[in-house]
Amino acid sequence: MSVHALHKMKASEDSAPRLDVVPNLVRDLGGITHLLTCGSVDDGKSTLIGRLLWDASDLYEDQRETVRRSGRKAAGTDLPDFSMLLDGLVAEREQGITIDIAWKYFDTSTRRFVIIDSPGHEQYTRNMASGASHADVAIVLVDARSGVKKQTKRHTAILDLVGVKHVVLAVNKMDLVNWSEDVFRKIEADFRTLCWKFNFWDATAIPLSAVFGDNVTNPSTNMAWYTGPTLIQHLEKTPSRVSEAGSVFRFPVQTVLRDGQDFRGLAGTVTSGSIKVGDVVVDTLSNANGKVVRIATMSGDLDSASAGQAVALQLDVDIDVSRGAVLSVPDARPTAAQTIEARFVWLSEKAFSLTDGYLLRTSTDLIPISAIEIKALLDLETMASRPARACTANDIAIIKISLGRAAAIDVFSEIPETGTLLIVDSVTGATVAGGVATSVDSRAEAAPEGHFVLKRDMLANGLNRDLSMSSKDREEFMRRANEVAILLRAAGVAVAIEPPPPVDDGMDPGL
């Protein structure tokens, strides 16, 4: 009997899919680890990634055969050139995309790994920051012969800035220093000192040789003095960001789902903490609150939902909450921020301009910026800041922003998932900077001379007179108000939008 006939017979006994038919292949993997690799080609980055793919992944046989048959050898050895496995990515580098990140996927027996590769050339700050923002863990590669360099300092500073919590220092080319423990311990100590000033939860140094494969997947026989994990063992144990999300509940509302008269669901993904049926949630902007009566998904209602789950929440009252709101529990809310200070990586080729109109993008909200000011630029090598008024591509700028209306924002170091921000060019729509909130304030700056307030009455009587008080029309009201504010700002008028009247929810205002 052929193997397939056997499958067929088994399957016919039971209508449910037989996952045991193809063990190790069909079952879900235990999670996803997003892995950023930083370092230059000289440090052996391509060879290390190639070696990881070769030793630890589910490569197709034809891909292996291509490498074997090419006859290309790793420099100075008789071993196959594993960096070939990344050739596709290298060639694609020439497409001219402004910010370059290449994604590559492989599975070990327990985890999905996503390799996020950003180029190592001198324009790397914005590339790396962009890639690192998706990473759960970063491999910082150094050459054992040169150790921790200025570039290593810049790399770790960028990782910390965008919230990477797990860093691995891969001390490569140990074969070229005679597998010396002394050399490794010195580099490891330098790295520890470097990491001291950052907020990493875990910083581990591993001595290895990407070319020979020592301590990549297989324990090295050349470094008996090293008793720690191999690189892949370490990576498989590293938790992902979503599994390490904090305990404070946050739920940015993406859209409102309606199904007939009965269902009005607030759709979104729990970004941190968890929520269960019966909990009271509040929108900090309107102060409206309600009790969760249903957590809906197409696979069935849930009793609770936690970080990473995409659901729709139905509340016991029909409160006017829409996209842009961030639901929380009443005693641990995000700030209804009017002014913020944040660290931004400037991504655009186009430098910051005082006359450009900008918008601030939060988890799900887009808010007109009424005033924006560069305070300082950050030196990534020393972490010192120096006062500045301008910034351009690859700069790390400390920027103060006044918002045209309040937005729900957290301080990034406290609740990272709802503390990330983008600055958007209001005319082209381009993303010009990405950053993290370092302080948020619910008080507006004292209105400067000539500050223009867009009154709700003024908007309601003319521009918005076709709109009703339905929640859908109220969303449209706010969208038009935003666009008017953007036009005025582009014309050089400092502008703020009058906030909607607060909802009287009967709760203690002290909450």
- The answer for 281, left when phi > 0, alpha when psi is -120 to 50, beta otherwise, is beta
Beta bridge partners of 32: 112
Neighbour tally for 46: CB within 10 Å: 23
What's the closest the beta carbon of residue 283 comes to other proteins, in angstroms? 16
Q: How far apart are CA 184 and CA 174, in angstroms?
A: 8
**Of residues 138, 124, 132, the one with CA closest to residue 41:** 124
Secondary structure class of 304 (helix, strand, coil) = strand
CB crowding 358-395: b at 16 or more within 10 Å, else e: bbbbbbbbbbbbbbbebebbbebeeeeeeeeeebebbb
What's the closest the beta carbon of residue 95 comes to other proteins, in angstroms? 5
Whether the CB-CB separation of 404 and 496 falls below 8 Å is answered with yes
Among 221, 261, 299, 355, binds other proteins (CB under 8 A): 299
Q: What is the DSSP letter of 131?
A: H
Please report whether residue 471 would count as binding other proteins according to CB under 8 A: no
Half-sphere exposure in the Cβ direction for 365 (13 Å, CA): 29
Q: How far apart are CA 400 and CA 398, in angstroms?
A: 7
Neighbour tally for 330: CB within 10 Å: 16
Among 265, 357, 368, 404, binds other proteins (CB under 8 A): 265
Residue with tokens 């521009």: 463
Pick between residue 89 and residue 507 the one whose CB is nearest to other proteins.
89
Secondary structure class of 346 (helix, strand, coil) = strand
Please report whether residue 420 would count as binding other proteins according to CB under 8 A: yes
Please report whether residue 71 would count as binding other proteins according to CB under 8 A: no
Pick between residue 171 and residue 369 the one whose CB is nearest to other proteins.
369
Whether the CB-CB separation of 310 and 296 falls below 8 Å is answered with no
Site residues for other proteins, 304-333, by CB under 8 A, read 304-306, 308-310, 312, 323
Total chain residues near other proteins (CB under 8 A): 95
What's the closest the beta carbon of residue 165 comes to other proteins, in angstroms? 14
Site residues for other proteins, 119-178, by CB under 8 A, read 126, 129-130, 133-134, 162
Q: How far apart are CA 345 and CA 422, in angstroms?
A: 10
Site residues for other proteins, 86-115, by CB under 8 A, read 87-92, 95-105, 107, 111-112, 114
What's the closest the beta carbon of residue 259 comes to other proteins, in angstroms? 4
Pick between residue 422 and residue 447 the one whose CB is nearest to other proteins.
422
In the stretch 269-288, what mask flags binding to other proteins with x, by CB under 8 A? x-x--x--------------
What's the closest the beta carbon of residue 356 comes to other proteins, in angstroms? 13
Q: Which listed range, 38-46, 188-196, 277-285, 356-364, lies at the site for other proteins (CB under 8 A)? A: 356-364
Please report whether residue 83 would count as binding other proteins according to CB under 8 A: no
What's the closest the beta carbon of residue 406 comes to other proteins, in angstroms? 19
Which residues touch 8 (CB under 8 Å, ≥6 apart)? Answer: none
Q: How far apart are CA 43 and CA 406, in angstroms?
A: 47
What's the closest the beta carbon of residue 135 comes to other proteins, in angstroms? 11
What's the closest the beta carbon of residue 276 comes to other proteins, in angstroms? 10
Among 109, 243, 353, 382, binds other proteins (CB under 8 A): 243
What's the closest the beta carbon of residue 300 comes to other proteins, in angstroms? 10
Please report whether residue 267 would count as binding other proteins according to CB under 8 A: yes
Pick between residue 225 and residue 263 the one whose CB is nearest to other proteins.
263
Long-range contacts of 464-473 (CB under 8 A, 24+ apart): 471/256, 471/320, 471/322
Q: Give the end-to-end CA distance of the chain in Å, rounded to a whole number.
A: 71
What's the closest the beta carbon of residue 21 comes to other proteins, in angstroms? 5
Task: State the maximum Cα–Cα separation within the chain, in Å, rounded to a whole number.
Answer: 87
Please report whether residue 75 would count as binding other proteins according to CB under 8 A: no
Secondary structure class of 91 (helix, strand, coil) = helix
In the stretch 421-450, what mask flags binding to other proteins with x, by CB under 8 A? xx-x-xxxxxx--x----------------
Among 185, 192, 258, 389, binds other proteins (CB under 8 A): 258
Helix (H) or strand (E) holding 458: helix 456-461
Site residues for other proteins, 6-65, by CB under 8 A, read 7-8, 10-11, 17-19, 21-22, 25-32, 60-63
Among 329, 366, 458, 467, binds other proteins (CB under 8 A): 366
What's the closest the beta carbon of residue 127 comes to other proteins, in angstroms? 8
